[in-house]
Structure 1
Amino acid sequence: MRRKAARPILITDADRSQADQLRSRQVRYVLMMSVRGVCLLVAAILVGTKAPLLWLWLPLCLLGMVLIPWLAVLLANDRPPKEQYRFRHNRTEADEPPQQALPDASPPKTIDAD
């Protein structure tokens, strides 16, 4: 029996590949549109069975059917956020002292010409 290979350790600051980003956006879009389909089915079943509290559930389903496609398109066209400080969360402050841009300078000297 073969074991599924573990994900490789990430040792670069490079962004995820375009294909990987596209795949994750596609999966998110399909999942959100599936939720929209479930809202449509639930609304149809509620109307068909003349369920109690139909005045409450039907607007919620309709709201889901209107808002979810809008959100799905927005999220599918958005790229993931940049991961600027990916390795910082594993380090503690004791591991590495903060770097200063300039060394401490002595106060400026004033020369009197009198």
Structure 2
Amino acid sequence: MPERKPAGFFRGEKDHPTLITEAATSLEQQHRDRVRRYVMIMAFRIPCLVGAAIAYGIWHNWVISLLIIGVSIPLPWIAVLGANDRPPRSKDEPSRWDGRRNQKALDSRPHNAIDS
């Protein structure tokens, strides 16, 4: 009988190492994720333009076609903003706020005015 390899609960679990560190994802992985997000959003633009042409061909209604094109206009801006966004913070990531909000002004004592 061939020897069976032990398998984890999930398929392919042994192919990926277990994450045992709190280190952030690598810059290369972050870049790949941002490029993937950009491409996915921009992939909706061409079907919108084609859909507008098909809608005009079927219904001969330019209003529907313009609405479909109107949906595709902000997609490049949305894609760029989404691609340039940093990865979301985890709940365990410490806040960088140093608490200045609760501090009083540097010199809060009353001042005497000098009359000349």
2:47 matched residue in structure 1: 38
CA contact (8 A) 2:34 2:83 kept: yes
Superposed CA deviations along residues 36-87 of structure 1, whole A, max 9, x for unmatched, are: 111011011222x1416652x323312221111110000111111222428x
Q: Which residue of 2 aligns with 1:72?
A: 79
Larger RCO (CA under 8 A, 6+ residues apart): 1
In structure 2, the gaps of 5 or more residues are 1-10, 94-116
CA contact (8 A) 2:55 2:61 kept: no
TM-score normalised to the size of structure 1? 0.61
Q: How many residues align?
A: 82
What's the counterpart of residue 9 of structure 1?
A: 18
- Measure, in 1, the Cα distance between the counterparts of 2:53 and 2:61: 14
Residue identity opposite 1:51 in structure 2: W
1:51: which partner in 2?
A: 59
Q: TM-score, normalised by structure 2?
A: 0.60
Residues 1-48 of structure 1: CA deviation (Å, up to 9, x unaligned):
xx855432211111110000100111111111110111011011222x
Q: How does 1:71-110 map to 2 (within 5 A)?
A: 71-85=78-92
CA distance in 2, matches of 1:7, 1:59: 47
Q: Which runs of 4+ in 1 moved over 3 A?
A: 3-6
